[in-house]
A and B are shown apart, each in its own frame.
Chain A
Amino acid sequence: MRPLLLLFVLLPGQVTLAQEKPLLDVSIEAFDMNLPTDALTQQQEEVFPAVRQAEARYLPSFLKLTLEESGQWGAVRLLPDTDRGAELQISATIVISNGTTLELALVARDATDRTWLDKTYIGTAVESVSLSQPILGTDPFLYLYSEISSDLVAMYDTLGSTQVDEIKKVATLRYAADLAPEVFSPYLAMDENGHYTITRFPADNDPFFQRVREIREHEYVFIDVVDEQYESFFVTIKPVYDLWRQYRREQQASEADKINREAAQGNEFRRGSYMALRESYNNYRWARMQDQYLEELNEGFTNEILPTDITLEDSLYHLSGTLDEQYDEWREILKELYLLEMP
C-alpha cells in the first residue's frame, strides 16, 4: 500500500501543498560511465577511469538524495541496472565530469514508456563555503540536481491521478511479464505512440499475480542491500570526492593563471639563460607532479570501490562480484524460484 501524501512538505526554500495523488516510485540506474575504450583517449580527455567508476555510483546517489529530500516521490531506489518494474526509470550518461564542469545526458521514462525527460544538464561548479549546511547543501553542482528534480516534478504535475495509477499498474505488469511472459504479456498492449497500455488487470487473489508480488518483494530485499552499499559508498567517498573535485578545479585554475601570467609578463629571464631554462623546467615539473599526484588519488579511488561479497540473511545464496553481476544473478535466482514454485 502506497502512502498518500496529505500534508505540507517542506522543500528547500519553499512550502508546497502536496497533491492528492499517488506518489511514484523512482528507480535510478547507476550512470553510464561513458569511458573512452582506449587509454590514450582517456588520457587526452582527462578521464580517470577509477574516478569515473566511482562517479557512476556517486552522482546517482546524490540525485537519489535530492529526489528524496524533495518529498515529491515514493521510494527512490538506486540500482546497478535498469529496473524492469520501474514506475519511473532514470538513466544518465556522464558526458563531462572534471571537477569544474558536470554534464549529464539524462533520460527519464515512466513504466508506460512515456518520455519525461531527455535532456542534457550542464553546469559549472559553484563553491560552497558554509560548514553548517547539511550534506546536500555542500555539493558544487547541487543546483543542477535541483533542476533535474524540478523538471521531473513539473512533468509529474501534468499528470492526473488516473494516469499515475495506470503507470503504477503498468509497472507491475511489466515486471510480471518479464518474469513470466507467457502468462502476463497478454495483459499489456502498445498504443499508437508506442506506449504500454493495460488490456486487463489480474484479480488481486490471482495466484500467479500474488506470486509475482512476492518475488518482487524478494527483489526489494536485494535492492535494500544494494542501497545500503551505495549509501555507505556515498558517505565514505563524498569527502574524498569533494576534495578531488576541488583539487581538479584548483589545478585547472592555476594552470590557466600561470599561462595568463606568463603571457602578460613575458619571460623575465633572458632566453637560453640558466634561469630561463630552470623556469621552463620547473613549470613542466610542476605540471607533471600535479598529474602524478592525481594518479595517486585515482589509485585511492580504485581501492575504495573493490567489489564486496554479499551474503543474504537466509544464507541460501551467496552473491559475489560487482553489484551489476550480483543483481543479474539475483534476478536469475528469482526467476527460477518463480518457475519452481508455480503450480
Chain B
Amino acid sequence: MCSGYPVERLWLTDILIKINYFNFPANTLAAIAGLLLLAGCQSPEAPRINEEVAYEVVDMSGNWEKDYQLSDDFETEFNLYLFDVQRRLNPQSDGLNRNSTFSAGPAAGGSMESVVGLARFTEEITRMPVLKIEQDRSRIRIDREEDFALFCEFFNRQVAVTETPFGAEQCGWNGEQLLFQLSLTDGLQIFYQVTLSPNGRQLNITTTVSSSQVPAPITISNYYRRYEVPENDIDCILTLTRNNVCRRATDRTSN
C-alpha cells in the first residue's frame, strides 16, 4: 500500500496512532508497524533522503492553512508519547497502566523534565497555522509565521546541506515527499516530512523531534488545506535603492 501515493506512505504515523485509539497492546502495534514497513513504508523515525531523484517533484506551491480537525490533537499525542516513553523505559510493562508513575531519571536515559520539555518545545514549533510555499524546478521555500523559512535548493535532485555555527540542515526528496532534517546543538533533531495529497488539495507536515536526553522521539502530524489570498492587482519587486517598486498588473500586460 505504501508504494502507491505518497500521502498514504506518510500516514503510517497516523495509522498507528488511530489504531492505538483501540488500545491495542504495544507488541501488537509494533507488529502492525513491522508489517507496514515490510510492505514498503518508511518508519517516521528513520526516513531517508534520497541521494538522487530521477523524476519530477510535486508542486506544493500555494497558500495553506491548518486543518485543525484533521491535525493531531496535541494533548492526545502527548499522552501517547508518555505511554511510548514509559514502554521504552520499562519494556516489561504493557504500557497501558496510565496510573503508573513516570519514574525515569537521567540514569535511565531521560527525566520527566526532559520529556515534558521536549513535548512542550514540539508543541511550539508545530503550531504553524499558515504556510506560504513558493516552488520552482530547483527550489522550494516554505514560509512560516514568526519562524525561518524551510528552504531547499535541490541541485540535480541531490541532498542539499546548509551549515551554520548552530546546526546543520539537510533537505531533499524521498520520492514525492520533501524532507528536512535539522541537527542542532544539545542533541536536538527535528525532522519534517512534507507530503502533498494525490489530489493536491491537502498538505501534510509530519514533524518528528528528538533529543539526546530523551529515549523516544515525539511526532506530530498536521494537515493543511489550500486557501486563496485575495487577488492583488499590483505587482511588486524588491529593489534596494527604491525598496518595493510596484505597478499594476494590467500595466505590465499592456506593455
Contacts and interface: CB of A to CB of B under 8 A. Distances in A.
Interface of A: 38-40, 43, 236-237, 239-240, 255, 258-259, 267, 270-281, 283-289, 291-292, 296-297, 299-301, 303-304
A278 B122 CA distance: 10
Contacts of A286: 166
B49 to A, nearest CB: 15
Contacts of B70: none
The bracket for how many chain B residues form the interface is 35 or more
The winner among B166, B190, B241 for most chain A CB atoms within 10 A is: B166
B13 interface: no
Given A277-B121, A287-B164, A300 B239 contact: yes
B160 A285 contact: no
Given A255-B165, A272-B117, A300-B238, 15 more contacts: A39-B155, A43-B153, A258-B165, A271-B186, A271-B212, A272-B110, A272-B186, A273-B113, A279-B186, A280-B184, A280-B186, A284-B166, A284-B167, A287-B167, A303-B245
A285 B147 contact: yes
A240 B118 contact: no
B121 A236 contact: no
Nearest to A287: B164
Nearest to A243: B240
The winner among A258, A301, A303 for most chain B CB atoms within 10 A is: A303
24 contacts: A240-B241, A258-B165, A270-B113, A271-B187, A272-B111, A272-B187, A273-B113, A274-B116, A278-B124, A280-B188, A281-B121, A281-B125, A283-B185, A284-B184, A287-B167, A288-B148, A288-B149, A291-B162, A291-B164, A300-B238, A300-B239, A303-B238, A303-B240, A304-B239
Contact of A300 (B151, B184, B240): B240
Contacts of B213: 271-272
Nearest to B185: A280
A35 to B, nearest CB: 15
A300 B185 CA distance: 33
The winner among A272, A273, A275, A278 for most chain B CB atoms within 10 A is: A272
B162 A43 contact: yes
- Interface pairs A-B: 8 shortest CB-CB: A272-B213, A274-B117, A272-B114, A300-B240, A288-B148, A287-B164, A283-B166, A240-B240
Contact of A38 (B155, B185, B212): B155
A239 B239 CA distance: 13
Contacts, number: 109
Interface in B206-255: 211-214, 237-241, 245
Contacts of A292: 148-149, 151
Contact of A280 (B149, B151, B165, B166): B166
A184 to B, nearest CB: 45
Interface string B10-34: 0000000000000000000000000
B48 interface: no
B36 interface: no
Interface in B105-127: 110-111, 113-114, 116-118, 120-121, 124-125
Contacts of B211: 272, 277
B182 interface: yes
A213 B237 CA distance: 45
B178 to A, nearest CB: 17
A274 B121 contact: yes
A284 B190 CA distance: 12
Contacts of A291: 162, 164
B113 to A, nearest CB: 6
A288 B163 CA distance: 9
B107 to A, nearest CB: 13
Contacts of A289: 148
Contact of A274 (B120, B151, B165, B190): B120
A273 B114 contact: yes
A291 to B, nearest CB: 7
A68 to B, nearest CB: 24
A300 B167 CA distance: 28
A252 to B, nearest CB: 10
A291 B164 CA distance: 9
Contacts of B124: 278
B170 to A, nearest CB: 13
A280 B182 CA distance: 11
Contacts of B165: 255, 258-259, 287
A272 B155 CA distance: 35
B237 to A, nearest CB: 5
Contacts of B184: 280-281, 283-284
B139 to A, nearest CB: 10
Interface string B134-145: 000000000000
The winner among B169, B187, B238, B240 for most chain A CB atoms within 10 A is: B240
